Amino acid sequence: MFKKILHSQSKSISSASLILAVSSLASAILGLLRDRLLAGTFGAGDKLDVYYSAFTVPDFIALILIFGAISAAVIPMFSGYLIKSKDEAWKYFSTLLNVFLGFLIVVSLILIIFAPSIISLTAPGFSGQKKEMAILLMRIMFLSPIILGASNMISGVLQIFHRFLVTAMAPLLYNLGIIIGIVFFVPAFGLQGLAWGVVLGGVMHLLIQIPSLFFSGFKYKASFNYKDPGVVKTIKLMAPRSLGLGAGQLSTIATTAIASTLLAGSIAVFNLANNLSLILVNAIAASVSTASFPSMSMAFLKDEKSEFLRKFSSILRQMIFLVVPLSLLLLLLRAQIVRAVLGVGKFGWADTKLTTACLGILAINLIAQALILFLSKTFYAAHNTKIPAIISGVTVAINIALSLILVWLIKFLPGVNLFLVDFLRLGGVKDIGVIGLVMAYSISSVLQLYFLLRMFYRKFMKLQPAGKTKDIFNSLYKVLIASVIMFIVTFTVRQFLGSVLSLQTFWGIFFQLAVSGTVGVVTYAIATHLLKSPENKAIMDSFLKKFLYPNR
């Protein structure tokens, strides 16, 4: 069974996307369990603020030095070598892996030393024991970029060989490691057990993929030639992408810094709400983008412009088909989701209300987040990393400025505060400053999507046949009609169940959420089927072929 998993390959984008989406859903379930355990064990207070603050800079390092290389450079570069010679491709990868890991180790050691200064910058509102604990957790978590760096580079190469199943299992194990940390390490080691759980998750993420890498033909070579032409070109390709990702992560760091000056628990509320919304982005946008990236990159390398644009059009329509209804369901069922997932233990009623309000704002932002991820990867597949990087930098500046302005307006203008408290039903919540951070984040994301669409049209869509552009608008039209029908039906069911169920118990809330959500999904599926949506047919055909009739 294990060997079968290692050798499993997915030849089509639809089947690969389905595998990644299902695994992302499973990972999301573990993520929900993780956040439920965190919320129930610690509540939205100082301890979770410390944990999320300690996470920011290690995550920043991993993003700019490794994830950028994978998306923007490693997959296109390895694909280029692979077309010429498999041996040369593996030699390139081995050299790159050695150089990057050596660099990551040095950087992480330096940052471990300067962790106190880093915490002073990223969480200026922390002091005393809270600050000391944040420093300790950050130092432990600096092991994570090294481990995840190697693991994610391996993931990128395995995706080229269509080994999506094993790469999809890695995030499951990562979340499982964090859960082990919460359940077993925290009672033994205190709050630092959370950090060791993150490290364990990274180790498990790596170990599951190593056998599949060797099955794919990898032969390790102890080469540290940082002047290798392939390594140099990879660095040049990844630099703009890394700057773009770094800008995005700087936005998160800035948000954390501002939140650290607000009421204790604000950092936790922002992250918990964002995690709930990102589950859907990861399950759909990340899955589809990851599955499509190698083939789009290969089409561009072979100078097959029409095939590149055909894939873009098809995948964009699938993304719209999936994300629009889910964002509406998230908006409609946000209170039920927060109460079912997080409303336990030390997570109080005020925490629940504030997180629900944040999730409602982020639900509107979900479409933008999903399309940003896909459009950025499309630019990377076309070896254009500068445009997404520049746009990301501009929108980060907008986000930081808006965050400061909106938080100030909420704190110092009573009229604005009272309006938001009334509109978002936040009576009894002491400090709603975090709402300003969420609003700024959502507005800047919408602007980022707008800029990316404008630039993509100027660069590529003028080459697109008129019929293909029309296909996108026809799909959007059917999706919007089906989504409105779904919204009305789901709202009606939610209200009816709310009138007959006891909503003071977990099972009452869970039943309302499960039934309303299921009715919504089924209604949307029927509506798109009746509207003859091609995306509905493509997804159903892929599902039937992959799971019900695998031998056909």
Q: pLDDT tens-digit profile of 68-106?
A: 555 557 777 888 888 888 888 888 888 888 988 888 899
What pLDDT was estimated at residue 69? Answer: 56
Two tokens at 380? 């990377």
pLDDT above 90 for 492: yes
| Residue 461 banded pLDDT, cuts 50, 70, 90 | low
Mean pLDDT of the region 431-447? 93
pLDDT above 70 for 19: no
What pLDDT was estimated at residue 170? Answer: 85
Place of tokens 């630092």: 192
What pLDDT was estimated at residue 464? Answer: 53
pLDDT above 90 for 314: no
Question: Do 441 and 476 belong together in one domain?
Answer: no
Two tokens at 552? 């056909």
Residues 6+ apart with CB under 8 A from 265: 43, 44, 45, 46, 48, 49, 351
Question: Do 410 and 529 belong together in one domain?
Answer: no
What pLDDT was estimated at residue 467? Answer: 47
In the listed set 413, 447, 464, which residue is the last one of a domain according to the structure? 464
What pLDDT was estimated at residue 325? Answer: 93
pLDDT above 90 for 515: yes
What pLDDT was estimated at residue 159? Answer: 78
Distance CA 228, CA 99 (A): 10
Distance CA 169, CA 157 (A): 15
The single-letter code of the amino acid at 450 is Y
Mean pLDDT of the region 445-449? 93
| Residue 21 banded pLDDT, cuts 50, 70, 90 | low
The more confident residue out of 246 and 117 is 117
What pLDDT was estimated at residue 193? Answer: 93
Three-state DSSP at 194 gives helix
In the listed set 464, 488, 514, which residue is the last one of a domain according to the structure? 464
Least confident residue range of 199-203, 228-232, 261-265, 460-464: 460-464
Question: Do 457 and 494 belong together in one domain?
Answer: no
Inter-helix orientation angle 433-459/229-259, to 10°: 150
Mean pLDDT of the region 32-36? 88
Distance CA 94, CA 97 (A): 5
Residue pLDDT, tens place only, 259-307? 988 888 889 999 899 888 887 776 677 667 666 666 777 777 776 677 7
> Residue 545 has what DSSP assignment?
I
pLDDT above 50 for 466: no
Question: Do 267 and 293 belong together in one domain?
Answer: yes
Alpha-carbon Rg for the chain in angstroms: 23
Distance CA 27, CA 230 (A): 34
Question: Do 145 and 128 belong together in one domain?
Answer: yes
What pLDDT was estimated at residue 180? Answer: 95
What pLDDT was estimated at residue 158? Answer: 85
In the listed set 403, 435, 464, which residue is the last one of a domain according to the structure? 464
The more confident residue out of 235 and 468 is 235
What pLDDT was estimated at residue 552? Answer: 46
Domain hosting 474: range is 469-552
| Residue 549 banded pLDDT, cuts 50, 70, 90 | very low
pLDDT above 70 for 244: no
Question: Do 460 and 475 belong together in one domain?
Answer: no
Question: Do 482 and 449 belong together in one domain?
Answer: no
Mean pLDDT of the region 50-65? 84
Question: Do 456 and 488 belong together in one domain?
Answer: no
Question: Do 481 and 337 belong together in one domain?
Answer: no
Question: Do 405 and 506 belong together in one domain?
Answer: no
Question: Do 234 and 291 belong together in one domain?
Answer: yes
The more confident residue out of 538 and 482 is 482
pLDDT above 70 for 540: no
The more confident residue out of 311 and 41 is 41
pLDDT above 90 for 328: yes
CA triplet 501, 343, 36: central angle to 5 degrees? 125
What pLDDT was estimated at residue 456? Answer: 85
Question: Structural domain tally of the chain?
Answer: 2
Q: Which class for 413: exposed (0-12), middle (13-18), buried (19 or more C-beta within 10 A)?
A: exposed
* Nearest alpha carbon to residue 207 among 248, 157, 154, 244: 154
Mean pLDDT of the region 198-220? 89
What pLDDT was estimated at residue 317? Answer: 86
Mean pLDDT of the region 493-499? 94
pTM: 0.78
What pLDDT was estimated at residue 547? Answer: 45
Question: Do 404 and 449 belong together in one domain?
Answer: yes
Q: Name the average pLDDT for the chain.
A: 83
| Residue 525 banded pLDDT, cuts 50, 70, 90 | very high
Residues 6+ apart with CB under 8 A from 323: 280, 284, 285, 366, 367, 370, 371
Terminal-residue alpha carbon distance, the chain: 21
